[in-house]
Amino acid sequence: MSILIRQAQITEASAIAPLIYDAIGDIANNLTGEHELQKILASLEQLIKQTTNRHSYLNTYVAVQEEYVLGIVVLYDGKQGKVLDRQLEAQLATKMIHVSLDIEAHDDEYYIDTVCVSEKARGRGIGTKLLQFAEQQGKELGYDKISLNVELEKVDARRLYERMGYVVTEPWTIIEEPFHHMVKLLH
């Protein structure tokens, strides 16, 4: 059975939300203004269904097998990320939730915001396929480099990214947590 990577659909929000949460953890609290798991997942589903935030289905690609979502990758460029975050901050402010979302990429980078494979599908190379897909998208869109941030304690993930040609270029901070900012040239 082959794995197909394609644009996410609104109807897949309930399958995508737990994968986003699995990948970003506490950042989801900041993005949603929620602190209970069920409310976080419900808010993430709403964000996925919308078009004006980083986790919109428009920025999300899914790895599917027989229409089951096995993994996701969320992609956009650094400039677009800033715009999407300001829109989300304004949207949250209307609910009296005041957050400031941290910038996660430089303006000239194609950015891998989130990549996650479901627990049952791990170890099958799907994460690598999602990263390769992201790189191909970046090339087709004319970017010279692609980037991502990885938490310091995610040593295995960092090793995978390094095997694929990503290099730590600088320290980064997201919601007061330390990350490695990793970049790969796309030529």
Question: What is the phi-psi region of residue 125: left when phi exceeds 0, alpha when psi lies from -120 to 50, beta otherwise?
Answer: left
Rounded to whole angstroms, the Cα distance separating 118 from 46 reads: 20
Question: What number is the average pLDDT over the span 139-155?
Answer: 96
Q: For residue 31, name the pLDDT band (cuts at 50, 70, 90).
A: confident
Angle at 182 between CA 161 and CA 108, to 5 degrees: 125
Q: Residue 1 — very low, low, confident or very high, per pLDDT cuts 50/70/90?
A: low
CB atoms inside a 10 Å sphere around CB 72: 29
Q: What is the mean pLDDT of residues 160-186?
A: 95
The mean pLDDT value of the chain amounts to 94
Average of per-residue pLDDT across 43-62: 96
| pLDDT confidence of residue 67 | 86
What is the rounded distance in angstroms from the CA atom of residue 23 to the CA atom of residue 29?
13
CB 3, CB 126: distance < 8 Å: yes
Helix, strand or coil, per DSSP, at residue 93? helix
Whole-angstrom distance between the N-terminal and C-terminal Cα of the chain? Answer: 31
Query: How far is 47 from 31, CA to CA, in rounded Å?
Result: 9
